[in-house]
Amino acid sequence: RLGSATSLSSASINARLQELVRLFRERTEKVKEKLIDSDVTSDDESPVASAAAAPVPAAGGELEGDKPLGDDHYCEMLCCTFKHQPSLDHLKSCQFPSSIDPLTNLMYVLWLFFVVMAWNWNCWLIPVRWAFPYQTPANIHYWLLVDYLCDLIYLLDMLIFQTRLQFVQGGDIITDKKAMKQNYLRSQRFKMDVLCLLPLDFFYFKVGFNPLLRFPRCLKYLAFFEFNNRLEAILTKAYIYRVIRTTAYLLYSLHVNSCLYYWASAYEGLGSTSWVYDGEGNSYIRCYYWAVKTLITIGGLPDPKTLFEIVFQLLNYFTGVFAFSVMIGQMRDVVGAATAGQTYYRSCMDSTIKYMNFYKIPRTVQNRVKTWYEYTWHSQGMLDESELLVQLPDKMRLDMAIDVNYSIVSKVALFQGCDRQMIFDMLKRLRSVVYLPNDYVCKKGEIGREMYIIQAGQVQVLGGPDGKSVLVTLKAGSVFGEISLLAAGGGNRRTANVVAHGFANLFILEKKDLNEILVHYPESQKLLRKKAKKMLRSNNKPKEEKGGPGDALIIPPRADTPKLFRAALAATGGRGALGRLRWRLKELRAMQE
C-alpha cells in the first residue's frame, strides 16, 4: 500500500514538473525570438477592433434605435386597423428628381424610348398619309389623336427632362437647376426642338388636313441618335441592335421610295401606262415590291414611257445604287466589329500553328497548344485579360480587380491583418493563367517564385514514395505557394508536386511584384515575415512522440532541465513552495536509488 501511494504521488509530481518545464521552454523561445528578430514587436499579429458601444436604453425602457421616426398613422376599416404611410410622405418619396444623369440613369433611357417611338410614328406615317389614300374624313380623328399625343411627348421632353440633364463644365458635374436650364436653352438641341414643334397645324383650317404640315416633327433626330448611344452602352451584345438598326435604315429607304412611286403613279394617272401602278391589289405592298426591285437593281421592270417617268426612274436607279452600297458597307462594318475578337483569336491560332509546323514541333505538343487556345477563348472570351484592362485608368482597374479577386485574396491566412491598401495594390498584379489537364503547376524542389489562387477547376497535390499519390485536392478559392513569396528560412523551395486535375484557371502573384509592393508598406512587411516564420516552423516541427507505459516517472536528468528553471530554484534558496518541491524531488531520487 505504501508503494502504490508513493507511485501515485510520484506520477502527479512528475506531471506537474513536466508542465512547468514546458511553460518555461515556451517562454524562453519567445524571449529568444524577440532578441534575435528585431522586427517582432509584440505577440499580436493585427489590431483588434474595439467593440461598439451598446445602445443606451431610454427612460421608457426602449432602445433609442427602436423609436419610430414619425407618428404612426392608422386607417380603421370595419373591425380591423391597418397601418399605412402618410400621403404627404408617400408623395415626397415619389417626387421627380431635380437632376438627371444622362449617362447612367435608366429612367432617362426609358423616356428616350417613348420619344423615339413618337419620332418614328411621324417619320414612317407622314409619307404614307401624304401619298396613299389611307387618311380619310372618317378616320381623321384617330390620326389626330395619335399625332397630338406624340406632340405632348415632345413637349414634356423639352419642359421636364431636357432642362434637368446634368452636364460637365470645367471638369465639374453641374446639378444646379438654373445652370442646367440655361445650358439647354443655349444648346443646338433646344433650337431643333423648337423647330420641330412649330404650330403649322393651324394651317389645317385653310388648306385642309395635309400631313406634310407635320413634316417638321421629323427634325427631332437628335433624340434618336442619343437613344442609340445610351442603349448600346447598357446592352451586353450591342452588335445585335446595330444590325437591327442598319436593317431598319434599308427598310425605311424602301418605304419612302414606295410612297414616292405611288405619288408618281397618281400624278401620271393610275393604270395610264404600263410603268405606273395599275390600282389593283394592296397598293402599299405592290408599290413596296416595285421599290425593292428598283433600289436593289434586280431588273425586270417595265420601261418608262413619258419624260417624267424616265427622269423618275433614273433618279431611282442612282439613289438605289448609292443607298444599297452604303447599307451593305455599313452592315459589313457592324458584322466585322461584332466578330473582331473571333478574328483576332483565329489569326493568333493560325500564326502559332504556322510557327509550330515550321519548326516541326511534335504533334502531341501541337494538339495541347490548340486545346489551350480553344479552352482559353471559350472560357474567357479573350486570350489575355491584361490587353483589355490596360486601356482603363488605374482606379477602374482596381475596382474591377476588387470585384473579381478580393473575396478570394482576403481569405489567405498569410495576408490577414495586412494593410488594406497593400492588398488592393496586390490585386492589380494578379495574372490569370490556364492549365490543361495533367499540367504541372509546380514541381517538388524547384525555387518558388509565385503564389497561386484557384479561380476555377481543381489541382492535386502529389506525394508519397513514388511522388504520384494524391495527398489532397484543392478546389476553387484555395491558395497554395504563399510561403514561397517571402523566402524565409529556406522555404522558397516547393515541397510537393502540384498537378492540374482537368482544366484549371489560376491567378498568379509573382515574388518580384510582391517585393515591389512591400517597399511602401514596412509594417505589413514585418507582419508577413513573422507569419511566414511561424508557418514554416509549424510545417517543419516534428511530431512529439507520446511516452509509453514503461517509461520512467522521473524527468530526464540535467539535459532537459531548462537553465531558467534551475536559476529560479536557486534564487528561492529553498523557501516557499519551490523549496518544498525541491526537497520532495530529492526525496524521490533517494527512494529510487
Q: What is the pLDDT of residues 324-343, one digit of tens each?
A: 888 888 888 888 887 887 88
CA-only gyration radius of the chain, Å: 42
- Predicted local confidence at residue 500, as pLDDT: 92
Q: Coil, strand or helix: which one is 289?
A: helix
CA distance 530 to 541: 16
- Predicted local confidence at residue 488, as pLDDT: 53
- Predicted local confidence at residue 222, as pLDDT: 93
- Predicted local confidence at residue 264, as pLDDT: 93
193-208 burial, b at 16+ Cβ within 10 Å, e below that, comes to beebbeeeeeeeeeee
- On the CB side of 448, how many CA atoms lie within 13 Å of its CA? 28
Place of cell 528560412: 489
Residue among 263, 97, 114 at smallest CA distance from 177: 97
The answer to whether 394 and 401 are in contact (CB under 8 A) is no
- Residue 285: count of CB within 10 angstroms of its CB: 10
- Predicted local confidence at residue 229, as pLDDT: 93
| Dihedrals phi, psi of 390, to nearest 5 degrees | -65, -20
Place of cell 482597374: 397
- Predicted local confidence at residue 338, as pLDDT: 78
Q: What's the one-letter identity of residue 280?
A: E
Place of cell 406634310: 212
| Beta-bridge mates of residue 434 | 505
- Predicted local confidence at residue 498, as pLDDT: 92
Q: CB neighbours of 510 closer than 8 A, spacing ≥ 6?
A: 429, 431, 449, 450
* SS3 track for 186-199: CCHHHHHHHHHCCC
Q: CB neighbours of 273 closer than 8 A, spacing ≥ 6?
A: 304, 305, 306, 309
Listed as ranges, residues in the chain with pLDDT below 50 are 2, 38-82, 84, 542-558, 574
Ranges assigned E (strand) in 192-237: none
CA distance 263 to 280: 15
The answer to whether 271 and 278 are in contact (CB under 8 A) is yes
- DSSP letters, 438-470, are T-EEE-TTSBP-EEEEEEEEEEEEEESSSS-EE
Q: CB neighbours of 15 closer than 8 A, spacing ≥ 6?
A: none
Structure letter (DSSP) for residue 74:
E
The answer to whether 81 and 188 are in contact (CB under 8 A) is no
- On the CB side of 560, how many CA atoms lie within 13 Å of its CA? 10
The answer to whether 527 and 418 are in contact (CB under 8 A) is yes
CA distance 346 to 342: 6
CA distance 288 to 322: 18
Q: What's the one-letter identity of residue 172?
A: D
Whether the CA torsion 427, 430, 432, 438 is positive or negative: it is: negative
Ranges assigned E (strand) in 145-265: 167-169, 172-174
Residue among 546, 442, 553 at smallest CA distance from 500: 442
Set out the domains of the chain in order of their start, with CATH numbers: 95-234 (no CATH), 236-383 (1.10.287), 389-540 (2.60.120.10)
Structure letter (DSSP) for residue 41:
-
* CA distances in angstroms from 252 to 123, 241, 398, listed in the order given: 9, 16, 46
Q: Tell me how many helices (H) and strands (E) the chain has.
A: 20, 10
Q: CB neighbours of 37 closer than 8 A, spacing ≥ 6?
A: 530, 533
| Dihedrals phi, psi of 414, to nearest 5 degrees | -65, -30
Q: What's the one-letter identity of residue 318?
A: F
What percentage of the chain's residues is helix, strand, coil (to nearest 5)?
60, 10, 30
The answer to whether 517 and 425 are in contact (CB under 8 A) is yes
Q: Coil, strand or helix: which one is 502?
A: strand
- DSSP letters, 507-538, are EEEEHHHHHHHHTT-HHHHHHHHHHHHHHHHH
Q: What's the one-letter identity of residue 359?
A: Y
301-314 burial, b at 16+ Cβ within 10 Å, e below that, comes to eeebeeeebeebbe
